[in-house]
Structure 1
Amino acid sequence: MPKQKSKLNLETEETLVWTGVSSNQTKAQKEFNDAFRKHKETLERSKEIEPLFQLVNETYLQEVLPELEKQKKLERERFALMCSILLEEKLSFGKMQREFLRRYLLDICNDSMMEDTGFYGIYRDQLETKFEKMERIRYKNQMESRIKNTFGIDIDLDDMNRTTFDSEEERESHEEKYREFREKYEEYRSEYFNRSRTHSGERKKTKAQTEREKKQLEAERLLSTDINTLFKNLAKLIHPDKEQDPILRERKSKLMTKLSSARDNMNIAEILEIKLQVDELLPNQQTDVSFHDTSIKRFIGIIKTKIRELEDSIRQRFFSHPLMADFSEKKISKESLGKYLKRVKLDNQMVTKAYEKEVQQLKMEPKYIKEMIKELQSLGVQF
């Protein structure tokens, strides 16, 4: 008595069974089912992650970002108070203390210059020694000379890096002034990277590399054949032009659009997902397509790659967010994320309070700055 056929009514040894009876499946078919199931689970997880990502973004915009803005203002106020105490000689310092504080404040100036050249530039001029100023100007002139020789354009680096403007008109005028240089610089960078890629491409390929490329091309050719076979069989069933029922025609039209896009992108996982939807839509008109185990194994490899890409995209989207840098959980859940976000909010509030305390202390008692110097030195800050 012959073996029971799967739901697709195909020969068991060739059938790609994702809805068939388990006992009729080959090892490759079972592996395919497992991979396909995991792919669907990963897709579902990516949908579940979306509201969690929205929660992260809302927390950042509504609660953390305002705290960061407060910290930024307090940090600038703290910096200005420390400069005032040092430069106006409101306290007597030992030689080592004075030099440490001067270098510390000068480092803040240099690191923050792009943020507000006008504000930090004034303090930099007061904090620099004559030698430091000469070295800075020498380096600046050297860089401007190189730019002139390379691009034939005179620029002022200090002015070009300016980010604060009194009006939109001033900002537009500034951009126009340096547009030619930026365009030429981008062309230069593009040519440089193209030359680098060309040079690296000229290296002779190893035998192993050549073999891998041949196998890759052959795998792509076979995959293309398999995809086109599936596409043609599915397209016959769901092409909307011959459908009289308006509801079915609309559903077929949507499926046909998805199918064409999946075929163009060589997305076998999506095509197989559409195949299941077609079987559900037309239970009496199952797609009569079969594949050998070699094709099925190719599908398994592709679906596993899609799973990795999905997992990577979830991780990348989540952990590239500025709020998620310290999130260490392997599995993201609403509970673990809620605890983490609560801790982040509290940590930022504590930082704000610490800045507020230091600003208040410096205003009321300037000698508090000496305690700050000791603390910085104990933390290993050196110059």
Structure 2
Amino acid sequence: MPKQKSKPTTAKTEETLIWTGSSSNQTKAQKEFNDALRKHKEILEHSKEIEPLFQMVNETYLKEVLPEIEKQKNLEKKRFEIMCEILLEEKLSFGKMQREFLRRYLLDICTDSILEAPNFYGKYRDQLETKFERMERLRYKNQMESKIKNTFGIEIDLDDLNRTAFDSEEERELHEEKYREFREKYEEYRSDYFKRRGSKSNERKKSKSQTEKEKKILESERLLSTDINTLFKNLAKLIHPDKEQDPILRERKSKLMTKLSGARDNMNIAEILEIKMQVDELLPNQQTDVSFHDTSIKRFVGIIKTKIRELEDSIRQRFFSHPLMADFSERKITKETLTSYLKRVKKDNLNVTEAYEKEVEQLSKDPKYIKEMLKELQSLGVQF
């Protein structure tokens, strides 16, 4: 198959492509490449447009949602405290099963929340636990601490190690320093463990299809490396700053050369081809006369499509890893869909606060309200 030469492009072209000309002069591979590169540019632009939307989410979270969550935590503690007082101070009579259900419910809250506020929940846990439950908890704790000492040669207190609440940043730093040696040894142990597992997995005999697949990947990488080096050399000849006398052009060429070297080192063909377009615009009369077989162009298309998927995934991951975006169900992120979603989140959050406020107020006025709460929990299928 004859090689297809890239035709000169000009700085006046609004959207420059690598291979230009009428459709009849382009191969199918060249058309696919142009479409893939156009899509890659669109996703890059989209990622820039997304940034202010992400800032909008973060600002809502920090300024409106987090303060409300903090209020909810305080109300939850107050609600828990009142319920414990009703049970432990026998302010109300309960049936045997009802009392046990309430005790286990409150003890479960202690277990879930003790790391956040150990002093507050710890004193109630001691009162709510039975003797047997306390013995079992301490037995398991001592057993785990003993294993850690035997494995790492370090004595630790698991309750203290796992706590997340600190009165000051200084206290947090002291806590980190106290357990630094253990955490470093644990990470080293964990890393060695997964390495051993990985080596055992690699020792298994590879199937014929696996071997063939690996050969194809290696060959594809070799061919790609050849194509990248060819393009790199041709571009480097044109933009090497040492050969440029004009100080303005020398500076622009120097920046392009730095980008080109980085793209070559990272085997980033999409970026190299983007740089080629910039070079064509910078030097319209000195076009890079480089041509590729359709097989190379098809490889470029595959790589650019992979870059597109990676860009799309990184946008989604950044957005949907944010704690405020867990329930966002729209396929496309726009200002309109996001504004509507955040409005709903804020409203739902206020409703949660109001529900806690109502329960605290009801429990404070009338302890019997606790029995209605227990019935509701049981109707929801809560079991212990």
Give the alignment's TM-score, normalised by structure 2. Answer: 0.93
What do residues 288-321 of structure 1 show as CA deviations (whole Å, max 9, x unaligned)? 1000101101101101111111111111111111
Task: Indicate whether 1:334 and 2:325 are aligned.
Answer: no
> 1:5·1:24 contact (CA, 8 Å) conserved in 2?
no
Matched with 2:185 is 184
Taking the aligned partners of 1:21 and 1:220, their CA distance within structure 2 comes to 32
Task: State the partner residue of 1:8.
Answer: 8
Alignment of 1:292-371 (within 5 A): 292-371=293-372
Partner of 1:215: 216
**Partners of 2:297 and 2:7 in 1: how far apart?**
17
Label 1:27 to 1:177 Cα distance change in 2 as closer, same or farther (>3 A).
closer
**In the alignment, residue 283 of structure 1 is paired with which amino acid?**
P
Q: Which residue of 1 aligns with 2:288?
A: 287
Are 1:109 and 2:96 an aligned pair? no
In the TM superposition, 1:104-253 aligns within 5 A as 104-165=105-166, 171-253=172-254
Q: For the residues of structure 2 that align with 1:320 and 1:337, how far apart are their CA atoms?
A: 15
Structure 2: runs of 5 or more not aligned: 10-16
How much has 1:367 moved relative to structure 2?
1.3
CA displacement at 1:176 relative to structure 2: 4.3
* Matching of residues 253-268 of structure 1 within 5 Å: 253-268=254-269
Measured after TM superposition, the shift of residue 145 of structure 1 is 2.2
Distance 1:164 1:218 in 2: 54
Q: Give the number of the structure with larger relative contact order, counting CA–CA contacts within 8 Å between residues 6 or more apart.
A: 2
Letter in 2 for 1:204: K
Residues 304, 127 of structure 1: CA spacing in aligned structure 2 closer, same or farther, 3 A cutoff?
same
CA contact (8 A) 2:37 2:304 kept: yes
The two structures, once aligned, show a CA RMSD in angstroms of 1.9
Residues 207/131 of structure 1: CA separation in 2 closer, same or farther (3 Å cut): same
| Aligned mates of 2:168, 2:271 — CA distance in 1 | 51
How many Å separate the matches in 2 of 1:292 and 1:5? Answer: 10
**AA partner of residue 353 (structure 2):** T
Look up the SS of the partner of 1:90 in the other structure.
Answer: coil
Q: Which amino acid aligns with 1:200?
A: S
Q: 1:55 to 1:171 in 2, by over 3 A?
A: closer
Q: Which 4+ runs in 1 deviate beyond 3 A?
A: 162-180
Using the size of structure 1 for normalisation, the TM-score is 0.93
Secondary structure, aligned partner of 2:338: helix
Give the deviation of 1:168 after TM superposition: 5.8
Q: Aligned partners of 2:333 and 2:117: how far apart in 1?
A: 38
Deviations 1:151-192 (A, max 9, x none): 233333223334445566655554444333333222221221
Once residues 35 and 172 of structure 2 are traced to their aligned partners in structure 1, the CA distance between those partners, rounded to angstroms, is: 58
- More divergent stretch after superposition (203-212 vs 160-169): 160-169
Q: Supply the distance in 1 between the matched residues of 2:165 and 2:326 (Cα, whole angstroms).
A: 29
Report the more deviating stretch, 88-97 or 166-175.
Answer: 166-175
Amino acid at match of 2:372: E
